[in-house]
Amino acid sequence: MLTLYGTLESGNCYKARLAMHQLAVEFEWIEIDILKGESRTADFLAKNPNGRVPVLELDDGSYLAESNAILWYLAESSPLLPTDRLERARVLQWMCFEQYSHEPFIATSRFYIHLLQDPQGHAELLAAKQDPGYAALAVMERRLEHADWIACDTYSIADIALYAYTHVAHEGGFDLGAYGAVRAWIDRVAAQPAHALITAV
């Protein structure tokens, strides 16, 4: 059985859990309290030298880190990852967008506000994340005005990757009121079979 090490309310960890629920993959969940430094212990660093969650322990005892790499591993040969060469590249394109243009602003804002509960102590940093965060949402809005899914004609791990932090963007101080296509897409993702909440193991 696979073992997933992570923090329950982390969107990056949620990506892997959601994919495993939807693919009916059995796994064991081990909670890692990042606020108590549990991802920086010698034991955890042996699993991931970068000291970050999530980490997936495979059946052979090896470890895989980075949420989108875990998604790709889990989705191989499943409906969540297209077989067409160009469509696979587009899935990867949007997963790269998530990591470089979306997560650094929307996810990190949520970390300071929702997990650390210290918006005042990080007010200047949070203010600097607003414009690029909304710019990422605008990119998604333009895509989803003309498509049901973010990367291709079907639901994929690109949708999971972006849904994880977009659907809780309000917890990072982002208002989705002006992004009707994004909100409709969030509803479509939530309606997928075997959907699981971010707070559910």
For the chain, give every domain's residue range: 2-75, 85-190
The per-residue pLDDT for 40 is: 97
The model's pLDDT over 36-51, given as tens digits with 9 standing for 90+, comes to 999 999 999 999 999 9
The per-residue pLDDT for 73 is: 98
For the domain bounded by 85-190, which CATH number is listed? 1.20.1050.10
Both tokens of 154, joined, read 């079907």
Both tokens of 20, joined, read 């495993």
Sole residue written with tokens 């796994």: 27
The per-residue pLDDT for 25 is: 98
The per-residue pLDDT for 107 is: 98
Radius of gyration of the chain (CA): 17
The per-residue pLDDT for 179 is: 98
Cα-based distances in Å from 20 to 81, 160, 161, 178: 13, 11, 13, 32
| Beta strand 2-6 pairing with 27-31 | parallel
The per-residue pLDDT for 10 is: 97
Give one word for 95, left, alpha or beta, with left for phi > 0 and alpha for psi -120 to 50.
Answer: alpha
Say how many CA atoms lie within 13 Å of 73 toward its Cβ.
17
Give one word for 106, left, alpha or beta, with left for phi > 0 and alpha for psi -120 to 50.
Answer: alpha
CATH 3.10.450.50 for the 2-75 domain, yes or no? no
The per-residue pLDDT for 103 is: 98
C-beta separation of 15 from 71 below 8 A:
yes
pTM of the shown model: 0.97
Sole residue written with tokens 């997933």: 4
Question: Measured in whole angstroms, how far is the alpha carbon of residue 175 from the centre of its chain?
Answer: 19
Q: Which residues of the chain have pLDDT under 70?
A: none
C-beta separation of 182 from 176 below 8 A:
yes
